[in-house]
């Protein structure tokens, strides 16, 4: 029987949790965050928005359905949200080394080792989550043996530049041309666009798209502090002077707000789950959404020609904005989900409809 190695999770306030390794054995540091989704760890681990973070699922058993086959369709992975794991490490309560699923090809532990990502189990994630909830997201590090590393806060770096595509890529051959600014885009955003008869041109986060022709501009999700994306914000600011439809998701929501003149701030512990309820202001219908973000828009700083589009029912924070006259809107949550509920996938239809309307008018 393989001997299991012990390791420690050390938080910035000195709190120590001891666990057992089931992944790659190296010391790492990052922002420790929790998420409450019960399923979808292959999607979450490959979500670029988790770049630089040590991920703590609150659901106790992880790994019981293994890791899916890495098949592709139209040049995009069918089951993962990017081409690799982006979080710094995974910290769980109970690891299921035995897995069972029709589409699984390997264990979670083997996958973490292949991707050189540490994983710890045997941690009291209930106690850890309560600490993070009460004190806010904290910087922490996972230590093996005597291999120490300094504490690292990913929000102080431009980690969007690390996860964004380095080259221009095109997908599909549809009726509408969408310029997608990749700040760490999830694959399911591409899937949701492509099944709606569009051609997607995917460009790096700092690419100057303002002199090109397109039918719609899409601002993707991504990790870290939106204030770091100075070049992206400046390009969006120029686009806001026109009338071409713009849609943003997650970080894209925050970037659009900053380009419009609003400010953003860091949430105490963020929203990372599949069950975040949102509503349109003045509406009566509640949508259940998938979310993964640590920053939010300060609604009080929105210019007069912008308005809140959605609000979080739990804490009243902003969940989206829209322009009062122009076809610009964004959502803080993930209408493409993957994983999570698809209550709000209709927002992609709204984006397509705005491009169609502009073509009819021109």
* Annotated binding residue 112: no
* Annotated binding residue 188: no
Give yes or no for a contact between 340 and 289, defined as CB atoms under 8 angstroms apart.
yes
User: Residue 7 pairs with which residues in a beta bridge?
Assistant: 19
**Which DSSP state fits 75?**
T
- 318: its two tokens: 């902003």
* Annotated binding residue 251: yes
- Say which of 235, 271, 274, 334 is annotated catalytic: 334
* Annotated binding residue 140: no
Give yes or no for a contact between 22 and 109, defined as CB atoms under 8 angstroms apart.
yes
For 217-270, give the secondary structure using H, E and C. Answer: EEECCCCCCHHHCHHHHHHHHHHCCCCCCEEEECHHHHHHHHHHCCCEEEEEEE
- Say which of 31, 81, 319, 336 is annotated catalytic: 336
DSSP for 168-202?
-EEE---SEEEEEE-SS--HHHHHHHHTTSEEEEE
* Annotated binding residue 135: no
- Packed helices 251-260 and 230-239: angle between N→C axes, nearest 10 degrees: 70
* Annotated binding residue 27: no
- Of the chain, the end-to-end C-alpha distance in Å amounts to 70
- Say which of 192, 250, 271, 323 is annotated catalytic: 250
Active-site residue flag, 250: yes
Residues 6+ apart with CB under 8 A from 185: 48, 202, 220, 221, 222
* Annotated binding residue 119: no
* Annotated binding residue 49: yes
DSSP for 102-147?
TTEEE-HHHHHHHTT--EEES--HHHHHHHHHHH-SEEEEEEBTTB
* Residue list for the binding site: 49, 222, 224, 251, 254, 292, 294-295
* Residue list for the binding site for L-glutamine: 49, 222, 224, 251, 254, 292, 294-295
Q: Which active-site residues does the annotation give?
A: 250, 334, 336
């Amino acid at each position: 029987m393989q001997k299991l190695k012990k390791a420690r999770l050390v938080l910035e306030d000195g709190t120590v949790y001891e666990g057992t390794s089931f992944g790659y054995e190296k010391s790492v540091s990052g922002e420790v965050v929790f998420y409450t989704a019960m399923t979808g760890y292959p999607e979450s681990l490959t979500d670029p928005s988790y770049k630089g973070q040590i991920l703590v699922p609150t659901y106790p058993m992880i790994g019981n359905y293994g890791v899916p086959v890495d098949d592709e369709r139209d040049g995009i992975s069918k089951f993962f949200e990017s081409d690799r794991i982006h979080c710094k490490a995974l910290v769980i309560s109970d690891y299921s080394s035995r897995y069972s699923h029709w589409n699984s090809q390997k264990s979670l532990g083997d996958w973490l080792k292949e991707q050189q990502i540490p994983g710890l189990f045997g941690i009291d994630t209930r106690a850890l989550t309560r600490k993070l909830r009460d004190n806010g997201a904290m910087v922490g590090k996972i230590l093996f043996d005597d291999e120490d590393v300094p504490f690292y806060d990913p929000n102080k770096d431009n980690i969007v530049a690390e996860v964004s595509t380095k080259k221009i890529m095109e997908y599909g051959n549809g009726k509408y041309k969408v310029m997608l600014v990749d700040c760490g885009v999830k694959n399911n955003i591409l899937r949701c666009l492509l099944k709606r008869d569009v051609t997607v041109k995917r460009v790096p986060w700092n690419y100057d798209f303002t002199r090109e022709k397109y039918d719609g501009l899409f601002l993707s999700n991504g990790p870290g502090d939106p204030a770091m994306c100075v070049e992206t914000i400046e390009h969006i600011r120029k686009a806001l002077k026109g009338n071409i439809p713009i849609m943003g998701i997650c970080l894209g929501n925050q970037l659009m707000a900053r380009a419009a003149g609003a400010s953003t701030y860091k949430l105490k512990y963020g929203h990372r789950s599949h069950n975040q309820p949102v509503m349109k202001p003045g509406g009566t219908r509640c949508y259940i959404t998938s979310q993964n973000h640590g920053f939010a828009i300060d609604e009080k700083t929105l210019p007069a020609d912008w308005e809140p589009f959605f609000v979080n029912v739990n804490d009243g924070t902003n969940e989206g904005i829209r322009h009062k006259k122009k076809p610009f809107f964004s959502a803080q949550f993930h209408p493409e989900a993957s994983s999570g509920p698809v209550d709000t996938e209709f927002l992609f239809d709204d984006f397509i409809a705005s491009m169609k309307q502009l073509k009819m008018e021109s």
